[in-house]
Amino acid sequence: MKKRIVAIPVSILLIISSLAIVSPSKILKVSGNTLYVGGDGSGNYTRIQDAVDNASSGDTVFVYSGTYNENILVDKTIFLIGEEKENTIIDGNKTDDVMKIISNNVIINGFTIKNSGNDHDPKDTLNSDSGIDIQSDFVTISNNIIANNLIGLSTRGISSKNNLMIKDNLFIYNNENEKKDNLAIDCYGCYLMYTDHSKILNNEFYYNDNAIRISYSDNNEITYNKIINLTNNNAYGIYIKTSNFNIFSNNYIKNTSIGIWIYSLADLIIGNIICNNTIIESFYALLMQFCSSNYIFGNLIKNNDYGIHLNYSTDNNFYHNDFINNIENAYDDMNNFWYNTVSDEGNFWDDYTGEDADQNEIGDTPYNIAGGSNQDKYPLIKPKHNIAPEKPTITGKPSGKHGTEYEYKFISTDLNGDEISYYVDWGDNSTTGWTRTLPSGEYYNSSHTWSIKENYTIRAKAKDTRGAESEWETLEVSMPKSKEIKTSLFLQRFFQRFPFFEKILKRIVSLKNQ
């Protein structure tokens, strides 16, 4: 079998090398005095703002668990640390920003930050009320719950911001609830504007209006975030507007209107890398408009209405993406590259019908892309991702007699061509355990006897050799109960004298129940 060496284009290496993004270790470590808020200590502050006002640059403000109804301005270099994020709550009482940061080298960790105001200026360059508003550099926001705000975290405004670290936070319910005077506005979990060389890393986004927006921001990394169940009917997981040379990788995006949207009405958007993301159960997985020279590879695009959809975009490069169970896998109305031009490897398309006569795992004929004359000239025969096997099909008798052995057949397929083992739960507290492995698409046969007359549910699932498990499949089976023989006192005495007649009657009822 011919093996191919996958080469990374020099242009991608140049993009990666240009990202001079600060690591957490480069952010200033403060080491001054510690001021305490809440708790029982003598001299502790009762308001966070009072402690911040009395702190010096380099101090730590430690806040004990409790609810603090205030709006906080951080205007000096400090650590602001909560005792535990679930119970150390800063509540803005639906007024203004809950917290505004205007000093460099600030670290915020361990809070629930909620209930911003609802004032919103629709102009992109102006501010809106937020849970956290950052207007400075080298700020770290980590290990917080950011909830019930108009915008969870924002850097909106015309000033430039650099070297932010936003990691390990939970963004939840930042949406349009109680918005002002029915003004049509978009709300966000996290919104970066004019922000460069920053990271959004390992955060979770649930039930926000929209999750992440990046506008006029370059050389950032948005990686390992989980985005699920947005509340806006037109919601997007990640919106990239007029932003270049960013990396979007290893994000998990589910149940959105648009998983990732790249858009500009001004200059073409260039130099972004979108790789190794999982985008499932969305209307559009990836929508690109007015884009050029971006690299999209290694993504799993599954169970969407539309996979990748391009308008007015040229010279973008797509390869090693897996397109599985989408209504339309791809649409391209201009000229883009649907394969790696160095390694001559394309994408996996679940509806590809070509052959692989030379068994080099690349299709012998091109895959046609809807919308124009574009083709994936080197379609992959197997997915790049390990895809779980299909849930098994179960065949066999749906009813029978207890005490009788019945045979059932189970079959599943694996897109990667891996061998499959099966696990069968017979519904009577007995299972097969995981069976020996069988080739994909080959039947597994197993017999079972139910000892009690009852209705049962057979459940079965499949697992490939790399450990990926399918969903459960079920089959209802019935081993019906016998009808009881109700006898009168007269018949009981009659059968005592003539037991032969009782045996005949029981035999007749038994034959009827079969």
Q: How confident is the model at residue 1 (pLDDT cuts 50, 70, 90)?
A: very low
Contacts 24+ apart (CB under 8 A), 357-363: 358/2, 359/1, 360/1, 360/2, 360/4, 361/1, 362/4
CA–CA–CA angle 256, 241, 133 (5° rounding): 85
The dihedral built from the CA positions of residue 13, 320, 212 and 187, taken in this order, carries a sign that is: positive
Sequence-distant (6+) residues with CB within 8 A of 140 are: 24, 27, 106, 107, 108, 109, 164, 165, 166, 167
Give me the domains of the chain, ranges plus CATH numbers.
1-19+262-379 (no CATH), 26-244 (2.160.20.10), 393-479 (2.60.40.10)
Distance CA 418, CA 434 (A): 16
**Average pLDDT of the segment spanning 408-423:** 97
**In terms of DSSP bridges, do strands 34-37 and 59-63 run parallel, antiparallel, or are they unpaired?**
parallel
Global confidence as pTM: 0.85
Distance CA 113, CA 212 (A): 18
At 380, give phi and psi (nearest 5°): -80, 145
Tell me: the pLDDT tens digits for 256-314?
A: 999 999 999 888 999 999 999 999 999 999 999 999 999 999 999 999 999 999 999 99
Q: How confident is the model at residue 202 (pLDDT cuts 50, 70, 90)?
A: very high
**pLDDT in the model for residue 234:** 78
**pLDDT in the model for residue 7:** 46
Tell me: the pLDDT tens digits for 73-124?
A: 999 999 999 999 999 999 999 999 999 999 999 999 999 999 999 887 655 5
User: Which amino acid is located at 509 in the chain?
Assistant: V
CA–CA–CA angle 325, 326, 328 (5° rounding): 140
Paired with 109 in beta bridges are 81, 142
173 has pLDDT over 70: yes
Share of the chain above pLDDT 90, in %: 78
Using H for helix, E for strand and C for coil, what is the string for 207-241? CCCCCEEEECCCCCEEECCEEECCCCCCCEEEEEE
Q: Find the helix or strand (DSSP H, E) in which 504 lies.
A: helix 499-513
